[in-house]
């Protein structure tokens, strides 16, 4: 099944555009094993999400065990929920092929994030997995996003040039874009350039982005395809034994807030 179909199916079933970022940080977690923590979060929230998104940095930082934990985490997620491997890959041809194989064939992700700086041949090996989703970084949620992404290139800021290219490259219909909720005007611009692509929108919660504008500007004409990612606010809602229930409560609250924003629109 195509990534976008899988995404739409579960989103409609769970009535949710919430994606949970599975980024286990031992400094913030309750004192449990990382795999047990992830399993508890997944069990507590799998009827409330449209996707999960593990960021590979947090697993690599765990040492040699990290990738095994990640692999088991991905396998534990119910098969109808897409899993986005957030590795922000960007490397030349033969290396990009190795990354695509690692993320899609070895780790089993349904989609991956990639960095556009190296251009088309660094992204092509990912796009060639036609059933997988490929989210290209466009306008990121951090402060430093302005350093290069806002530079004007032939009258357009670089992030808009990236959105334009992504549209050109979308032969198989499996490209999406990453746009931070912390920059609502830029999100609006990107949605107008790419009216049909799924957008992956981090920056809500710990990073301070506004949910109403993220939803309002992020969705397509049908009110869909805006994947709102939240990590820390849900994972660490409680550091006590009740962490899974607290995560569920927070996830439900945000899922419902997203739906209220959609109704208001």
The residues that are catalytic are: 88
Q: Where are the beta strands (DSSP E) in the chain?
A: 18-20, 51-52, 84-89, 111-114, 133-139, 152-153, 156-157, 175-179, 199-201, 226-230
Q: Of the ranges 46-54, 133-141, 208-216, 240-248, which one interacts with its own copies (CB under 8 A)?
A: 133-141
67 binds its own copies (CB under 8 A): yes
Which of 149, 174, 229, 233 lies at the binding interface for its own copies (CB under 8 A)? 149
Helix axes 243-264, 211-218, angle to 10 degrees: 60
C-beta of 145: minimal distance to its own copies in Å?
Answer: 6
Binding residue for its own copies (CB under 8 A) from 15, 30, 47, 71?
71
Quick note: the x/- pattern for its own copies over 189-208, rule CB under 8 A, is -------------x----x-
Q: Annotate each residue in 11-30 with x if it binds its own copies (CB under 8 A) or - if it does not, as one string.
A: ------------x-x-----
Give exposure, 223-252, as e/b (b: 16+ Cβ within 10 Å).
Answer: ebbbbbbbbebbbbbeeeeebbebbbebbb
Among 13, 80, 120, 239, binds its own copies (CB under 8 A): 120
Q: Which two tokens stand for residue 173?
A: 């219909």
| CA dist., res. 49 & res. 43, Å (int) | 11
Shortest distance, CB of residue 119 to its own copies, whole angstroms?
A: 3
In whole angstroms, give the CA distance from residue 147 to residue 257. 32
Please report how close the Cβ of residue 67 comes to its own copies at its closest, in angstroms.
5
Q: If phi over 0 gives left and psi between -120 and 50 gives alpha, with beta otherwise, what is residue 88?
A: left
**78 belongs to the binding site for its own copies (CB under 8 A):** no
Residue 173 contacts its own copies per CB under 8 A? no
Q: Do β-strands 152-153 and 156-157 pair in parallel, antiparallel, or remain unpaired? A: antiparallel
Residue 162 near its own copies by CB under 8 A? yes
Q: How far is the CB of 184 from its own copies (least distance, A)?
A: 17
Question: Could you tell me the smallest distance in angstroms from the CB atom of residue 197 to its own copies?
Answer: 18
Question: Binding pattern to its own copies, positions 214-253, x when CB under 8 A?
Answer: ----------------------------------------
How far is the C-alpha of 181 from the C-alpha of 54, rounded, in Å?
19
By three-state DSSP, how is residue 41 classified?
helix
> What is the phi-psi region of residue 56: left when phi exceeds 0, alpha when psi lies from -120 to 50, beta otherwise?
alpha
List interacting residues with its own copies (CB under 8 A). Answer: 23, 25, 55, 57-58, 60-64, 66-68, 71, 88-96, 98-99, 101-102, 106, 115-123, 137, 140-149, 151-154, 158, 161-162, 165, 202, 207
């Amino acid at each position: 099944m195509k990534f976008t179909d899988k995404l739409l199916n579960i989103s409609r079933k769970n009535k949710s555009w919430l994606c949970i970022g599975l980024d286990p940080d031992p400094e913030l977690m309750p004192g449990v094993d990382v795999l047990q923590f992830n399993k508890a979060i997944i069990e507590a929230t799998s009827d409330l999400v449209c996707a999960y998104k593990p960021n590979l940095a947090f697993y690599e930082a765990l040492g040699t065990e990290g990738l095994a934990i990640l692999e088991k985490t991905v396998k534990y997620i119910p098969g109808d929920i897409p899993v986005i491997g957030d590795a922000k890959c960007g490397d030349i041809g033969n290396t990009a092929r190795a990354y695509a194989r690692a993320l899609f064939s070895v780790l089993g992700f349904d989609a991956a994030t990639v960095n556009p700086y190296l251009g088309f041949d660094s992204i092509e090996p990912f796009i060639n997995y036609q059933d997988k989703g490929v989210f290209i970084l466009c306008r990121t949620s951090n402060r430093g996003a302005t350093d290069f992404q806002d530079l004007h290139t032939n009258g357009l800021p670089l992030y808009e040039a990236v959105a334009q290219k992504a549209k050109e490259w979308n032969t198989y219909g499996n490209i999406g874009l990453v746009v931070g909720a912390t920059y609502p005007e830029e999100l609006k611009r990107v949605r107008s350039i790419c009216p049909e692509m799924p957008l992956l929108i981090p920056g809500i919660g710990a990073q301070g982005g506004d949910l109403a504008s993220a939803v309002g500007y992020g969705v397509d004409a049908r009110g869909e395809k805006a994947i709102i990612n939240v990590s820390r606010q849900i994972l660490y809602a409680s550091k006590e034994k009740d962490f899974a229930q607290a995560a569920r409560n927070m996830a439900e609250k945000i899922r419902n807030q997203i739906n209220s924003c959609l109704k208001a629109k």
